[in-house]
Amino acid sequence: MPLPSDFKSCMKRIDINSLVRKNILNLKPYSSARDEFQGEAQVLLDANELPYDTGFNRYPDPRQRELRKAIAELKQVAPEQVFTGNGSDEAIDLLFRIFCIPGEDCVLIPQPTYGMYAVSADTNDIKTLTPPLTTDFDLDVDVILKAVTEKVKMIFLCSPNNPSGNLLSSSQVEKLMDQFEGIVVVDEAYIDFAPSKSWTTQLGSFNNLVILQTLSKAWGLAGLRLGMCFANEAVIRLMDKVKAPYNINQHSQEEALQRLKTGREQKEQWVRKIVNERQNLAAALRDCPGITKVFPSDANFLLVRMNNATGTYMRLVNEGIIVRDRSKVAQCEDCLRITVGTPEENRELMSALQRS
């Protein structure tokens, strides 16, 4: 029987362990009291906790089992393919610590994108290679693969991309996962606002795929600090091995679980509002004198090119309106990044822009 044409990509299996730092492979993780005993017991004298109830006197579940199970159901992946972290930042840092040898290995981060990947690389003393995205902020795999050396262990992609707002074209992302013999991280912090499906549907096809999502944006829980990471279970096991034992506090676990269980309709409603308002705001900005380009967005913000972006930024600050000045970022010259707010906030922004 002939093989389907996508057979090769379906069978992408890299040797994960060969990419992992030796000290991490050999690491014997800290085993907490709550790791060694889980389950129901009358008398808990194993963790030096205060026995009197304060609501928080017990250590939380180190593996966040209930929360991960709920996330797995929502995202239609296996619980073993889910990691939860103290924001996406924790997952980003863990990936560097697992896969990149300080002072030796490299990470490839197509630019412009979210600054945290490079900061985390620098913190871990990992060299950053920064090939450009195309002029319309898409991925050109041939350019990326030319920059790859054998020291490159990971590639960070952001789709929809921050600060440009666009989804990366899926054929290019897939080609990269297929051809790169290392970890491909796809940060989907803004996926809820995008018209396309998450890459989580491809976890079975690519064991080098790592997906980041967060409750900070569409779910409206930035203050809770809850990042999600989806990957092959071997990668998730490594992340659990290296993370701090109680990385998600009891309150965040309970609150996140509650919101995931009861807040889904509310979240969808917010997303519809923001996407609708994004369209209105983009149209208003395009009509605004001095604005030369409003980039297409699949996220909850708009990248806008204008005459004198920094001057405009300062004038907006004086009116009490804060946007993000991205004009010093390569390929974002003269650009401000504007988060879509409520209709009232967007109207205030527009009248301030028209005054300035």
Ligand X SMILES: *Cc1c(COP(=O)(O)O)cnc(C)c1O
Q: Which is nearer to ligand X, 113 or 232 (CB)?
A: 113
Under DSSP, is residue 132 helix (H, G, I), strand (E, B) or coil?
strand
Among 70, 189, 248, 329, binds ligand X (CB under 6 A): 189
Close Cβ partners of 237 (under 8 Å, ≥ 6 residues apart): none
Only one of the segments 82-90, 102-110, 135-143, 324-332 lies at the binding site for ligand X (rule: CB under 6 A); that segment is 82-90
Q: Least CB distance from residue 188 to ligand X, whole Å?
A: 8
CA–CA separation, 149 vs 156, rounded Å?
A: 15
Encode burial over 269-292: b for 16+ CB neighbours within 10 A, e otherwise: ebbeebbebbeebbebbeeeeebe
120 is a site residue for ligand X (CB under 6 A): no
Q: Which is nearer to ligand X, 20 or 139 (CB)?
A: 139
CB 184 within 8 A of CB 206: yes
Only one of the segments 50-58, 171-179, 213-221, 232-240 lies at the binding site for ligand X (rule: CB under 6 A); that segment is 213-221
Q: Which is nearer to ligand X, 114 or 270 (CB)?
A: 114
220 is a site residue for ligand X (CB under 6 A): no
88 is a site residue for ligand X (CB under 6 A): yes
β strands within 123-261, DSSP E: 127-129, 152-158, 183-187, 209-214, 227-231
Footprint on residues 247-266 left by ligand X (CB under 6 A): none
111 is a site residue for ligand X (CB under 6 A): no
Close Cβ partners of 34 (under 8 Å, ≥ 6 residues apart): 47, 59, 60, 61, 62, 245, 246
For residue 42, count other CB atoms closer than 10 A to its CB: 4
Pattern 128-167, binding to ligand X, x per CB under 6 A? ------------------------------x---x-----
Only one of the segments 29-37, 211-219, 281-289, 348-356 lies at the binding site for ligand X (rule: CB under 6 A); that segment is 211-219
Number of residues that bind ligand X (CB under 6 A): 13
Q: Least CB distance from residue 13 to ligand X, whole Å?
A: 27
Give me the residue label for tokens 């980039």. 295
Given phi > 0 = left and psi -120 to 50 = alpha, else beta, which region is 76? Answer: left
Strands 301-306 and 291-294, by their bridges, are antiparallel
Q: Least CB distance from residue 134 to ligand X, whole Å?
A: 19
192 is a site residue for ligand X (CB under 6 A): no
Q: Least CB distance from residue 187 to ligand X, whole Å?
A: 5
87 is a site residue for ligand X (CB under 6 A): yes
Beta bridge partners of 294: 304
95 is a site residue for ligand X (CB under 6 A): no
CA distances from 345 to 137, 280, 342 (A): 28, 12, 5
Nearest residue to ligand X, scored by beta-carbon proximity: 87
Pattern 33-72, binding to ligand X, x per CB under 6 A? ----------------------------------------
Strands 106-108 and 127-129, by their bridges, are parallel
Binding-site ranges for ligand X (CB under 6 A): 87-89, 114, 158, 162, 187, 189, 214, 216-217, 222, 227
